[in-house]
Amino acid sequence: MYLDENLGRTYILDKLAILIPCYNEGKTIRKVVTDCLASCKGIPNTSVYVYDNNSTDNTVSEAKIAGAIVRHEFQQGKGNVIRRMFRDINAESYIMIDGDDTYPADEIPAMVNEVLEKNVDMVVGDRLSSSYFEENKRPFHNIGNVVVRKSINFFFKNDIKDIMTGYRAFSYQFVKSYPVLSQGFEIETEMSILAIENNMHIENHVIEYRDRPADSFSKLNTYSDGLKVLRRIISLFKDYRPLHFFGLISLLLILIAAGLFFPNVWIPYLHTGLVPKMPTLVVCGFLLITGIILFSSGLILDSIVKKEKREFEFRLIQIHNSFEDQIR
């Protein structure tokens, strides 16, 4: 509990919760926690939470020594850890940062200020506009980040500069309204698209990136996790933009049907009055019917998505009221 002197209110929740998902980060976690606490001395009632995800090294003991509150999530996967953190922790603002010491903790006050003073729902720590491509020694990670960003820019038309960053600030409303569905490293992509599609306030904050220390190793598999992210983007495009998704497939099938029908069926029929390729006519008919069904499905699903967006707005109001109830 703390008193906000500027607003004259007493809060029963943290002013700032720093959330650090961890799996075998014993080499760096003590420094990350120490840096976070040092950078937030001017923010009252700040807590650092390290959520251990079945680490087999000294991550837990190092985090405790540094002054973090250590909790556990036994279901493996970064998405599962974030789901647990978002359920457990109540705070006015949140910082999510990785435990690998690749992000500068001294940017926390500026990112939190965006949330507290400007009512931003998600502040994205943008590595790609600064030092990421010089610091990161894994070229396929660089390519993957660019591909993911361009894919989401193409499908969802947004201005997020760094989709895969693990350094973000969140509002209470975002954390409590976000339904975590991904289990692994696709989680950053999922939360970015949810914020875009629900018209939440997003800001980019350029940060300096530094590569992992030499004796620290990434748990991200460039190829398998990269494919999971791309599959997730396509799946979310289908879920959030069903009319576009099914409309494109419908248009493709109708174009194929037309390409087969006119030269093989229609033109010979005009000249001879006969249909020389009956199987082609049948295939064209099936393609046309399938295209119409898919387009109709897209229209129906689009109406459902719009209804869900309206319901999401009502949930935000309920979450806001719940937040106000925690203020005495």
Mean pLDDT for 146-175 is 90
Who wins on pLDDT, 142 or 100?
100
pLDDT at 93: 96
Mean pLDDT for 96-113 is 95
Q: How far apart are the two ends of the chain, measured CA to CA in Å?
A: 10
Digit-coded pLDDT (tens) for 230-273: 888 999 999 999 999 999 999 999 999 999 999 999 999 898 88
Q: Which residues pair with 171 in a beta bridge?
A: 93
CATH architecture of the domain covering 2-240: Alpha-Beta Complex (3.90)
Of the listed ranges 67-76, 199-208, 212-221, the one predicted with least confidence: 212-221
Q: At 227, is the pLDDT very low, low, confident or very high (cuts 50, 70, 90)?
A: confident
**Tokens in use for 312?**
């999401």
pLDDT at 28: 94
> b or e along 129-168 (b: 16 or more beta carbons within 10 Å of the residue's beta carbon)?
ebebeeebeeeebeebbeebbebbeebbebebbbbbbbbb
pLDDT at 139: 62
Domain boundaries, the chain: 2-240, 242-308
Mean pLDDT for 23-32 is 94
Of the listed ranges 24-33, 219-228, 272-281, the one predicted with least confidence: 219-228
What is the Cα–Cα distance from 79 to 188, expressed in whole angstroms? 9
pLDDT at 103: 94
Q: At 98, is the pLDDT very low, low, confident or very high (cuts 50, 70, 90)?
A: very high
**pLDDT at 1 exceeding the cut of 60:** no
Q: At 17, is the pLDDT very low, low, confident or very high (cuts 50, 70, 90)?
A: very high
CB-CB contact of 137 with 175 (8 Å):
no
Give the contacts of 324 (CB within 8 A, at least 6 positions apart). none
Digit-coded pLDDT (tens) for 268-309: 989 888 888 999 999 999 999 999 999 999 999 999 999 999
